[in-house]
Every structure is written in structure tokens, then in C-alpha cells.
Structure 1
Amino acid sequence: MTDLPCFYAPETAAHDPRFWMLRGVVMANKETPERADRLLAGIRAAGLDVLTPPSADQAPMRAIHTDRYLRFLETGWQDWQQASGAGPEVVANLHPQKAGATYPSGITGRAGWHMGDTGCPLGRDTWAAALRGVDTALAAADAVMAGAGAAYALCRPPGHHADADTAGGHCFLNNSAIAAQALRGRHDRVAILDIDVHHGNGTQAIFFDRADVLTVSVHADPDNFYPFYLGHAHETGYGANLNLPLPIGSGDEAWLAAIDQGLARIRDFAPGALVLALGLDAHENDPFRGLRVTTPGFARAAARIRALGLPTVIVQEGGYLSEDLTRNLASFLGGWIEAG
């Protein structure tokens, strides 16, 4: 086994969402298969090989997500195709306030119940791809539990905006949360560090009332940035949630200082293992432009995180199409290797 085994499931390329809407304008979805192609090139540029994950035991996934949500993801596209005038992808046209509401039987109502925004259209191949994304995260977790110091999972679709019952922000199954749940089978406490430019609102919601999994997120201030409604510093749960929002446009030094603050909290928590939700969309040239982290900044972050000395599952979250995407992953993985 290599020092840093890397996993990717080629079948996830079949998930090719088309619909997205921003401020009332319909446009192309940004979570494209080409993202994986560029990230695969980054793995190889770091001198690492790519392994295909086996099918995994779904018990950790079923511990994280509700049964009705999983049924919706599995059958929703087929049900949608039976509806009169339905489009090629499931895109909800209503988003109810769920408190006190009754769960609907029809596909239009169920789509609204389980889809938090228009960034997560459910297509013919989404369910199969999302399951293989889970396999990818669990293969990395298994490698770490088998003795690897760290393992990298190139998951598509990403996962950290999906909560137990809801898709959102390109995410359907929460790969990082599922990996953490698997690691809990070996360790009494697990920490998740999320350095995506967007707050990991789904991950926070899943673990907010649990004391055995610490969630730490370093991200752009959500006051006027996705996910908007969660990710503020006052959200602490039972003391096992730490949000470190940064002003929009913050660069390397502020980002790394926040990561250092998060790492100090993780040391105090003393987990047996770490899940790193790796978002490369904090880069200065990422299309979302939330932060201004440089390519060398990712290598510096990797060295700091590796210095924790924890068995680490690295799960790919965001990082969208730019000329720098390959270099950014190579920088992070290279920084991790060099810090060993």
C-alpha cells in the first residue's frame, strides 16, 4: 500500500448534471465530470497512483441518511419521468418549511422536501454515481483503518451540503460524514475539518447534537455567500462544532491562521482519527471567488494538518473548473507528502 493511497470510481463520470440557477438566471451546472479529470491529473502530478474502490458495506451511509431520503434518491428520477410534462432532471419548484409539515407521496412534493436548492438536479445516473462516491470515501476510510497514515478519496458528487434528509449545493450523500461514521467503528472520537470555501452545513446538521464527532469548518462568511443560513461562529451545538468564517476575499495568511485555530480545537478534542473535507474552491481563481488562497497556500495547509499526526481520510469536496484546479490538488498532495 502506498503512503497515500488515492481512490476514484470511474462510474461517477456518468453523473453529468445540467440545470443550475443563480439569481433567476438558468445556466450550466458547475459540478461537471471534467472536474474529476482535472483532479485525477493532480493526483498523477503528485506522483501517486489511482485505485478503484470496491463496493462497500452501506451501513455507515444508512446510519447518516434517513431511509425515505435514500429511497427518494434511488427512485426519484424514475418517478419523475412518469409525471406529465416532466423535464430530463428532477428539479424542485418548491422548498417547504418542514416544521409541522406532512410528508407528501407525490414526486413533485417529495422533490421539494428533499432538495434544498436548484444546484442538485437528480438525473438518471445520479444515484449510482453517488453510491460509488460513498464507496470511494469508505475505501479511503478502510485504508486508514488498515494502517495507512492517510488516504485520499476523489468523490463525485461532493457531499458536505447534504444533510440527513436533504440534497443541496451539488451534494446528495455526505461522503465526509459517512467516512467519519465508519471511523467511529474504530475510534471513540473523530474530528472533521472542512476547508472548502463554503460552509459544510450538511455535515454540521448531521453531527450538531452529537458529542462524539467534532466538526470544524473554515469558510467564507455565509452572510452573503452560500449556504447563507448556516456557518456562523455562534453555532456551537453541544460544544462539538466550531465555525471559523472569514471575510470574503481573505487570502493565505487569514485562511491558514483560521486553520491553525481549528487544529488547536481538534488537538483539545483528542480524536482517534480525522476526516479532512478538502475543498480547493478557496483558491483565488475559483469561479465562486469567495477567498483568495494561492496554490502554494494549499501545500502549507497540508503540512499543518499532517502535523496533527492523526490517521486522516481526505475527502474531495469543492473545487471548480479553472486552469489551476490540477495544480492546486498537486500542491496539496505534494505538501502532504513532503511534510512526512
Structure 2
Amino acid sequence: MKVFFDERQLGHKPEVYYRGGAPMPHPEQPERAILIRDMLIEHGFPISAPADFGTDPIKAVHDPAYVDFFSDAYERFLKEAPEGALGIPTRHPGTRRGRCPKDINGAMGWWMTDTSTPLTENTYEAIYWSAQTAISAAKDVMDGARASYGLSRPPGHHAMTDCANGFCFYNNACIAAHHMRAKWGKVALLDVDVHTGNGSLDIFYDRGDVFFCSLHPDPAVYPTFYLGYADETGEGDGLGASLNEVLNMGDGETEVMEALDRGISAIQDFGAEALVVSLGFDMAADDPLAAVEVYAEGFAEMARRIAAMGLPTVLIQEGGYLGPSLRANAEAFLTTFRKEIGG
């Protein structure tokens, strides 16, 4: 199984964000990807640099103006910001009536929903190559590989059609899934990150050609809030093509595997011909953002059940932060998945 990764993804280095009104060290750090990359090298996974597909595949799922905003946003911020300011949005339009202003602070609030997606010197380069990593993994599977892994960082599944959210800028998994529609009539996106794939839900909610399933705790009490309730099943052409498997805070591996099995059954009933997995390791019991309790063997069992679906599969990295077991969990899932698919 080939791995795609680009060193330029390490350039985004956020310092702080605000949680519950308090400043916190930002958990989405480059070391996450370095740790997983080094583990993969030790296990003999071939790692390739992604190709450059440009912005068209990104704009296929995102508002083009939103995509373009990030290309020079940090430089614009520096020109207007006071000495020592951080590129954190501080103004938000709420209902989003109106239009994007010329002022960079207003524009940041227009395109960025919270404080977790600050602009840094190399943010655009990092998110651009994170998306190219996902597209390259998708292309590898479209060209005949049984499976491929995009070590995308920053992650993407909270990024909505036209706004950044929850550490995420471009929705790498949605970009990959839409790209795969050029070959397969029905594609499924399975999100096993602990947080609601709210961005993916937003992007595919009215589409019937991509089935979306997310496993996550109740958004009434756990971030990312707002989207991901069990009665949100899609609309228009997408009615019935969204499935939110809502867990309880503190659920263990039994409940998580039961939810995974229901999601797999729904994907099979949909008739998916190919699969994208938003792969988060933050379901770990000791993750810094922990909400449920999955351990290394649980991640290995997830890999077995997903591999047993027998679909051409693209794995796209999402969450999983610098807790004690991150490496072990990534190792358990990825080495097990490779073994189950035979290479």
C-alpha cells in the first residue's frame, strides 16, 4: 500500500487557539505527521511525493473564492496587523448574510468560523499540499491500486463548502471522494474520526452519488457541535445518503464497533463501488481530545472490518493528536489494513 506525503505540509505551525474561552496550546502540530511518517518508514511502507493537480479538484467541492482566499491571506494579514498579532479570526458574520469584505480581518471572519484555523507563514502551502496528497492517493486507487493512504496534514473533514473549521481548511476526504466519481458511479465516505465530519456532511448533504457516514459522540454535548444528529439524513437528491452514528461520551470499543458495523452495512446497501475513509486516531482513550475509549487492538479491528468490505479504498488522515498512544494506534490500523488487503 503506497503512502503519499509532502514535507511542505509541516509548514503550518499554529501556536494557540481558544477552547471554552481559554487560550490553549494548539494540538494540531507538525509532529503528528512526523510521528506517523517515521513509523511507516520503519515498517517499510513506500512513501511518495504527491503530484500537483492544481486547484480545480479543490474548487470542485469548495467555493472557488474561498479556495483562492488562502493563497495570499497571511501576507495581507501581516500588512494590516499590529506587531506580534496572531492570524486568528476575531470577527464573524453569524448568519452569513452580506458579502466578504475587503478588510483582511473581516475576510478572515467571513471564511473562518473559529479560532482553531489561524493563518501562519506557510499555512497555504501546507493546506495546498495536504489536498494534493489526498488527490494523489485517490488517483493511485483510480489507476488500479487496491488501497492507498494519504498522510494529509492539516486535516480536512471539518472544512465546509465555504468556511474553515476545527483545524481544517480544505476538505481532503471530500476532494478525494469527488475526484473518484470520475471513475465510479457511487462512492462512500466513512468518517471514523471521533469528531463529527461536519464539513463533509455540509458538502455532500444534497448529493445522492456519495454516501456519507460519520461515527461521533452527540454533537449536543461535544465539538464540533451544530451538525451530526441522527435525524440529519440528507436532503433533495441526497435524502437518505447521510448517516450519523451517534455515540455516547465514554463509549468503549463494543459500542464503537457496533456503530461501525451499522455504517458498513449502510454503505453496502447503498451499493458503493469505492470507499474513502476519514481516518482519525482521536477515538483513542488517551487522546488529548478524548471522548470515547478505543485502544490499539480496537483500531486494528476497525482496519479488519473496513478491509473486509473489499472495496477500492483511499485512507485520508484526519485527527489523532499527540497523546501517548498515537504511534501505536496508527501502527495497529495501518499495518493491519495492509496485511488484510495483501500488500
TM-score, normalized by the shorter chain, greater than 0.5: yes
Residue in 2 that maps onto 1:27 = 24
Q: Is residue 9 of structure 2 the alignment partner of residue 8 of structure 1?
A: no
Letter in 1 for 2:30: P
Matches within 5 A, 1:35-114: 35-85=32-82, 87-114=84-111
Distance in 2 (alpha carbons) for counterparts of 1:262 and 1:84: 46
Residue in 2 that maps onto 1:318 = 319
Unaligned residue ranges in structure 2 (runs of 5+)? none
Distance in 2 (alpha carbons) for counterparts of 1:60 and 1:51: 20
Residue in 2 that maps onto 1:137 = 134
Structure 1 stretch displaced more, 297-306 or 14-23? 14-23
Distance in 2 (alpha carbons) for counterparts of 1:45 and 1:287: 25
With the length of structure 1 as denominator, give the TM-score of the two structures.
Answer: 0.96
Q: Would you say the 8 A contact 2:12–2:120 is kept in 1?
A: yes
Structure 1 stretch displaced more, 69-78 or 171-180? 69-78
Q: Would you say the 8 A contact 1:160–1:175 is kept in 2?
A: yes
- Residues 209-247 of structure 1 deviation map (CA, whole Å, 9 limit, x = unaligned): 111111100112221111111111011111110000100
Deviation at 1:45, TM superposition (A): 4.5
Q: Is residue 159 of structure 2 the alignment partner of residue 162 of structure 1?
A: yes
Distance in 1 (alpha carbons) for counterparts of 2:50 and 2:176: 14
Q: 1:84 to 1:278 in 2, by over 3 A?
A: closer
Deviation at 1:20, TM superposition (A): 0.7
Unaligned residue ranges in structure 1 (runs of 5+)? none
Distance in 1 (alpha carbons) for counterparts of 2:69 and 2:54: 20
Distance in 2 (alpha carbons) for counterparts of 1:87 and 1:236: 45
Distance in 1 (alpha carbons) for counterparts of 2:73 and 2:96: 23
Deviation at 1:139, TM superposition (A): 1.0
Letter in 1 for 2:328: R
Letter in 2 for 1:202: G
Residue in 2 that maps onto 1:148 = 145
Deviation at 1:189, TM superposition (A): 1.2
Q: Is residue 248 of structure 2 the alignment partner of residue 247 of structure 1?
A: yes
**In percent, how many aligned pairs have the same letter?**
39
Distance in 1 (alpha carbons) for counterparts of 2:87 and 2:310: 43
Give the SS at the match of 1:80. helix
- Residues 7-58 of structure 1 deviation map (CA, whole Å, 9 limit, x = unaligned): 1111111111112111121121111011011111332344312221121243
Q: 1:270 to 1:44 in 2, by over 3 A?
A: same
- Residues 107-146 of structure 1 deviation map (CA, whole Å, 9 limit, x = unaligned): 1111111111111101110011111001110111111011
Q: Would you say the 8 A contact 1:286–1:321 is kept in 2?
A: yes
Q: Would you say the 8 A contact 1:157–1:170 is kept in 2?
A: yes
Residue in 1 that maps onto 2:277 = 276
Give the SS at the match of 2:306. helix
Residue in 1 that maps onto 2:194 = 197
Q: How many residues align?
A: 337
Letter in 2 for 1:283: A
Give structure 1 regions of 4+ aligned residues with deviation exceeding 6 angstroms.
none
Q: Would you say the 8 A contact 2:252–2:292 is kept in 1?
A: yes
Q: Would you say the 8 A contact 1:88–1:123 is kept in 2?
A: no
Letter in 2 for 1:63: A
Distance in 2 (alpha carbons) for counterparts of 1:56 and 1:322: 34
> What is the root-mean-square deviation in Å for CA atoms of aligned residues?
1.3
Distance in 2 (alpha carbons) for counterparts of 1:88 and 1:145: 44
Q: 1:87 to 1:64 in 2, by over 3 A?
A: farther
- Residues 40-91 of structure 1 deviation map (CA, whole Å, 9 limit, x = unaligned): 1332344312221121243221111112111221121111111142654321
